[in-house]
Amino acid sequence: MGSLETGRRKLMGSIILLMILVFAVLLILNVPIAVSITIATFVAIVAEGIDPTIMMAGKIANGVNSFSLLAIPFFVLSGYLMGKGGMARRLIDLAGTLVGFMPGGLAYVNTLTCMMFGSISGSSAAAVSSIGGFMIPEMERKGYNREFNVAVTTTAATTGLIIPPSNIMIVYSVTAGSVSIAAMFMAGIIPGILIGLFIMAVCAYFSFRRKYRREERSSFKEIFRAFRHAFLSLFLVIIVMGGILKGIFTATEAAAIAVVYAFFLSVVLYREIKLKDLPEILLSTGITTSVVMLLICSCSAMSWILTMANIPQTVSSALLTISDNPVVILLTINVILLIVGTFMDMTPAVLIFTPIFLPVVRDLGMHEIHFGIMLIANLCIGICTPPVGTCLFIGCGVGKTTIAKVTKPMLPFFGAMLIALLIITYFPKTSLWLPLKTHQIKADDVKIEEFLKVKTIDPSLK
């Protein structure tokens, strides 16, 4: 019996190795990641001797069989409407009146606007293109270094994935199984602001060092006027978060309401979008949604193969060979995710590595919501690093520069984001305080005082 079990493990190990090899080769050949995952999983299922026509279809269908995932296309559509509907300019004006008077004021304006726009649209890519399209050339016109401008915009835009609403939080909640989307939304507010403040600290250092100019201080009347113009855009967050927290509607229903509200502002009130522009916006929404859903489908099948091969238990055992200290284990997990984030997009990374690492961190006393925020904050660094940094590529395109030139100015911002990540990792209250205060999670479910005090992992995981 033991020899049969050992043989079975060796066979599954060989199959997983084959799947990883096929996946790596396809990535090197520049095959889209969703297609690479699907083909690699198909090869693994065939090697296992299972009929792929039945198994693949079933796993793909189950992967998107979730009501919560309906929120994604709605939030994507609302993000496109906001990006093209004049909301970015109004937020830039508001941020300028609030922080523009400080030395290097436009750098703070850029960061704060990306945070506000990201929280409304839930898209870092939209923040880079919408905010960067105006702020990068405007900052350069006033004496700021172009590569510095791109670095600020690229890193600040990632806060939109942590400050709610956020599509990637929905993906994580569905993948983790029993995690409340509303609780995830509340948990992301403080960490998102924290990362934004650390980015501003880097901006302050270089602004003083390079003597970047400050803008004129705005009067109270100018601040009030800018706030009044931007209020309806900001009010979307209140509608979405307030409705979810009060139990008026679910996250999916909130996303649909966000579309209606964004449509009213951009088409009817602001009139920045014409009816003839809507087909193109809807087409872009459909393409983006299709990519995300295909990733979810393919990763669901791959996760099934990984689970069947006991990969989570194997990873846990491997981590224990490094150390049984929770601090070291979490640091190791972060390092692995940082490496993964440099070559894998955020959505497949969340779908693949959540089932692998979640059992480990649960046994450390880490709450699922805390881990989710840590995971997303970690992978946010990856989307602004080469070779697969989506925000970095968009930022360089908008700023008309190259990745090679931007890499050096990006390093201090990477350092700031890493410090924020360590705070988020080892101080759980940054993520859990608001969900506890808003009763999205129960105090009995959170044992913060026990976090990182567990010195051994459940033997069943070894």
Rounded to an integer, what is the distance from CA 259 to the centroid of its chain? 21
Contacts of 131-134 with CB under 8 Å at 24 or more apart are 131/88, 131/91, 131/92, 131/157, 132/157, 132/394, 132/395, 132/398, 132/399, 133/398, 134/88, 134/89, 134/92
H helix intervals, 427-450:
429-437
pLDDT digits (tens, 9 = 90+) for 105-132: 888 888 988 888 877 777 777 778 778 8
DSSP per-residue codes, 3-50: HHHHHHHHHHHHHHHHHHHHHHHHHHTT--HHHHHHHHHHHHHHHHT-
- AA identity, residue 333: I
Domain boundaries, the chain: 1-63, 64-461
Distances (CA, A) of 215 to 96, 102, 198: 8, 7, 22
| 294-317 mean pLDDT | 75
Is residue 277 over pLDDT 50? yes
pLDDT score for 462: 45
Is residue 442 over pLDDT 70? yes
Pick from 64-73, 299-308, 368-377 the range whose average pLDDT is largest: 368-377
**CB 391, CB 154: distance < 8 Å:** yes
Average pLDDT over the chain, rounded to whole?
82
DSSP 216: P
Is residue 150 over pLDDT 60? yes
Is residue 402 over pLDDT 50? yes
H helix intervals, 270-389:
278-308, 311-322, 326-343, 346-363, 368-382
Number of neighbouring beta carbons within 10 Å of residue 31: 16
pLDDT digits (tens, 9 = 90+) for 200-239: 999 999 988 888 877 788 888 888 988 888 888 888 888 8
Residue 372 to residue 324: CA distance in whole angstroms: 22
180 in helix, strand or coil?
A: coil
User: 64 vs 360, which has greater pLDDT?
Assistant: 360
**CB 54, CB 62: distance < 8 Å:** no
pLDDT score for 1: 47
Place of tokens 């994935």: 161
Is residue 195 over pLDDT 50? yes
**Prior bond of 165 cis (ω within 30°):** yes
Residue 152: name the closest of 144, 162, 161, 141 by CA: 144
pLDDT score for 459: 47
User: 10 vs 448, which has greater pLDDT?
Assistant: 10
pLDDT score for 9: 64
Is residue 449 over pLDDT 60? no
Distances (CA, A) of 384 to 96, 365, 392: 25, 31, 5
pLDDT digits (tens, 9 = 90+) for 283-300: 988 888 888 888 778 777
Is residue 254 over pLDDT 90? no
What pTM did the predictor assign? Answer: 0.84
